[in-house]
Chains A and B, each alone.
Chain A
Amino acid sequence: MDELITRKQFAAAIFVSLLSPLLRLLPQTAVELAGRGAWLSVLPAAVPLLVLGAILASFRAHMRPGEGLGGLILRWLGPVFGRIVLVLYAAWFLFYGGFILRSGADRLAATIYPGSGPTAFIVVTVALCLLVALGDLRAAARTAVLMRGVLVGALAAVLALSIPNMDAGRLLPVGWRDAGSIALGALPLASVGAVAGGFAFLSGYVRPAEDRRWLTVPMLTLLLLGGAICAAVVSVFGPALTHTLTYPFFIMIRSISLGDLAPRIEALVIAAWVGADFLLCAFLLRCAHEALRPVFSLPAPEGRGLSDLRGGRYLIWLEAAAVLTCALALDMPPWQMRLWSDRLVPLASDIMLYGGYGLLWLVTIPARRRARSLQPRE
């Protein structure tokens, strides 16, 4: 039991990983859909997240000790269809990992290292993610706990230091006639939250929860942070300019200074966000491996040396190579990258996680009923 990740560490891993897509999509996508009321979109965004949480809780109730979602899918959908679904999820995780690296590298180059290529960042991060995926998952979860403090602290400081530039008048007026667009504005936040669903593949490494609300606080914090980011950026730039700017949150940070002590702090904050990209990519790599492990009936890769390729660990190297290839192949002009980032990838994420899990939940209703009827009654 001691070798398992605690629920708090797991929640930190999910929270930190979600901070990466949070700042990729917010606030500009939410503002594009919801206008000046984007900050209120956190309220409707809670609904799909609650539904996803309920579905995941239902899956979790049927998992055996040490089993992740991969094992459950194979059991429920059978060896052929189950394997097809798992390969599909593994491919999605690898593609998404590559995309996260690419967009993170582009952001870093655009905001701190103008004129630099993203290749160095991608290669270095994939190498580090490979080390994490080959190593002990607990170390990555502990890193997430540390990163959580750093990133939330940085976010809180940025929001506090931006207060002098804010004009609350830009957030209003918002009325009932904006309700439709505000509901639409919840889509990006819901897409960000959906990524948490991918972590269900790592459930086998997590201690069973004593408190069923272990993920509620981090998801609530994430929603509040999303709302605060939208409110801060819109009150600084106004909704129209926020939509036009390339990275409005990071441009807002560019204007923050700590007097003569530190006239500019954006490099520190943006560089800290590399940590969120790195952790998300590392966990996605491991999620992909956990999806493929039942397909090839492989043992858990934990507890071996980094250079040990036995037990299917060579697959992790191949998965990292796939992420690297994907990240390097996604070389596109900024407008096209924005289309992928704001539209295509969130849509695919929603289809895979809300759609896929919802469908899985529906088609396995008979299997779950059967399993429930076989359980001994107290």
Chain B
Amino acid sequence: MRRVRRFTPLLYVLPLALTLAGCGLSMASDRHDVERLMLIQTMGIDRLDGRVHVSVSTGLGPEEDPALVMTASAHGIEDAIARLQNYSPENQLFYAHIQYLLLGEQAARQDLSRVIEWVDRSPTVRTDTALVIVEGTAKDAVTGASEQATDITQRLASLDRQARTVGWSVHTLREAAAAISEGDGALCLAVETAPMDQTIFTDDMRSDAVIPLGYAVLGPDGLADILTPEQSFGAELLTGDPTGLLITVDGSTMEVLEGSAELKGAYGPDGAPAGISVRCTLRAGVLEKSDDAATPEELDAALSQTVGRWVTGALETAQTTRCDFLGLKKAVLTSDHALARWGGDWTDIFPSLPMTVTVDGFVDRSYDLPE
């Protein structure tokens, strides 16, 4: 009898084991068999004709199986996702491993906050998914960049690696959402699609390439602007590390060896911001000299002048779009507490603040370049 009593707790616990997820009998309604999961690696969202279009790509299979690419439209993101599932009755589309989230230009303008909310509510999509804005539609990028041997995920992964090597920054949805919710703006990589058959003349290369454009500016209301490559360089110099980027100055191609920027606020007698001065230092190495060979001093001056224009362009875009995507407020706040004491509304005053840009450019000749 005592031995039976010893096992009594086990008898209580055993029925509870029936509630665990297992072979068919489970209380969890979203139980999935692993072999029936179809992992989505890239998702594109567009706003076309008043409807949300969601395009997905599964990425290449383990044995180089071609990627499955699908697209569906509905009134909302969740509706469109539910529709996509209808096209794949055999397999469960699984969104927990999305690596790239592409937003078409129109969706980025209208639906950015909707996308951020959807990711917050989604129990599967990660917030550190790379966010990329597509000039045009994300649908074209997702569906057009896939063929037998490659797909959009591979192309974006390659672009990601290349971008990081040459100095562009790939931002995540979390970084963008955090900056936007703070009332600042955010930068994220912008790309365009271009037909491969304009470059590679073989019959089996008919898909599209994905080419980086520079940065898109995201504000609280969505996509505010897409910077030109030159303005993007200015933005990268102010916010990140432009080392490795190639620039052309007076017909000479140069590689940025190092660059930095210092921002400082100027204040009126009442403590109100009166302006921002930006001082950049840039060192570049000449890779290819132009035929109109300039003196080293002239090249230094041209570099300073050209990059000064690009930085000014980035600052002007920040002011016209009223998006502080360059983090000016934070830079001024940390470098000088006068603004913190002033306590006014930065968004009101920032677009009309005079900005002074000074660039100290130094061009290394080929014999100065590291091996």
Residues of A within 8 A of B (CB): 110-117, 120, 123-124, 127-128, 131, 135, 165, 169-170, 172-173, 175, 236-241, 244-246, 251-252, 254-255, 263-264, 305-307
The contact size tier of chain B is 20 to 34
* B202 located at the interface, meaning its Cβ lies under 8 Å from any Cβ of chain A in the complex: no
**A165 and B120 in contact (CB under 8 A), knowing A120-B19, A240-B181?**
no
Nearest opposing residue in chain B for A112, CB measure: B123
Is B101's CB within 8 Å of the partner chain A? no
Residues of A within 8 A of B13 (CB): 128, 131
Instruction: Give min CB distance, B176 to chain A, whole Å.
Output: 10
Residues of B within 8 A of A115 (CB): 29-30
- B334 partner residues in chain A, CB cutoff 8 A: 169, 172-173
Confirm or deny: B76 has a beta carbon within 8 angstroms of a beta carbon on chain A: no
Can you report 13 A-B residue pairs in the complex whose CB atoms are below 8 A from each other? A111-B123, A117-B29, A124-B19, A128-B16, A165-B128, A169-B330, A170-B178, A172-B334, A238-B181, A240-B182, A263-B97, A264-B96, A306-B8
Give 1 or 0 for each of B111-152: 1 = CB within 8 Å of chain A CB: 000000000111110111000000000000000000000000
- In Å, the complex CA distance between A329 and B121 comes to 24
Q: A111-B123, A116-B28, A128-B16 are in contact. Are A238 and B179 (CB under 8 A)?
A: yes
Task: Give chain B residues whose Cβ lies under 8 Å from the Cβ of A251.
Answer: 120, 127
Count A-B pairs with CB separation below 8 Å: 88
Q: Does B29 lie within 8 Å of A116, measured CB to CB?
A: yes
Would A245 and B30 be within 8 Å (CB), given that A169-B334, A238-B179 are in contact?
no
In the complex formed, the residue of B with least CB distance to A254 is B126
A110 touches B120 (CB 8 A): no
User: Looking across the interface, which residue of chain B has its beta carbon closest to that of A114?
Assistant: B123
Closest B residue, CB atoms, query A131: B12
Is B167 in the interface zone, CB < 8 Å from A? Answer: no
List of B residues within 8 angstroms of A306 by Cβ: 8-9, 12
Pairwise interchain contact A110-B123, C-beta atoms closer than 8 A: yes
Beyond A123-B19, A239-B182, A255-B128, 7 additional pairs, beta carbon < 8 A: A112-B123, A128-B16, A169-B334, A175-B337, A254-B127, A255-B126, A264-B126
Chain A nearest Cβ from B97, distance in angstroms: 6
Chain B residue contacts of A254, Cβ below 8 A: 126-127
The interface residues of chain A lying within 8 Å CB-to-CB of B183 are 240
For A127, what are the chain B residues with a Cβ–Cβ distance below 8 Å?
12, 16
Q: A124-B19, A241-B181 are in contact. Are A236 and B8 (CB under 8 A)?
A: no
Q: Take A165-B128, A246-B121 as given contacts and tell me if A305 and B178 are in contact as well, using a CB distance cutoff of 8 Å.
A: no
- Residues of B322-371 contacting chain A, CB below 8 A: 330, 333-334, 337, 340
> Is A246 touching B181 in the complex (CB atoms < 8 A)?
no
Nearest A residue to B121 by beta-carbon distance?
A246
Tell me the bound Cα distance from A131 to B16 in angstroms: 12
In the bound complex, what is the Cα–Cα distance between A238 and B179 (angstroms)?
8
CB of B27 within 8 A of chain A? Answer: yes
A371–B71 Cα gap in the complex (Å)?
A: 79
* The 6 residue pairs across chains A and B that have the minimum distance between CB atoms: A240-B181, A120-B27, A238-B178, A255-B128, A241-B181, A114-B123
A116 touches B27 (CB 8 A): yes
Cα A208 to Cα B126 in complex, Å, equals: 49
Closest to A255 in B: B128
Bitwise interface map of B from 170 to 186 toward A, beta carbon under 8 Å scored 1, else 0:
00001001110111000
| Closest B residue, CB atoms, query A165 | B128
Q: Which residues of B contact A172 (CB under 8 A)?
A: 334
Contact A255 B181 (CB under 8 A): no
A305 contacts B174, C-beta separation under 8 Å = no
Nearest CB in chain A: distance from B19 CB, A = 5
Closest Cβ–Cβ distance, residue B223 to chain A (whole Å): 19
**Binary contact readout B1-20 vs A (1 if CB under 8 angstroms, 0 otherwise):** 00001001100110010010
Q: Is the CB of B174 within 8 A of A237?
A: yes
A204 vs B178: C-alpha distance when bound (angstroms) = 49
A62 and B29 CA atoms in complex are apart in Å by 53
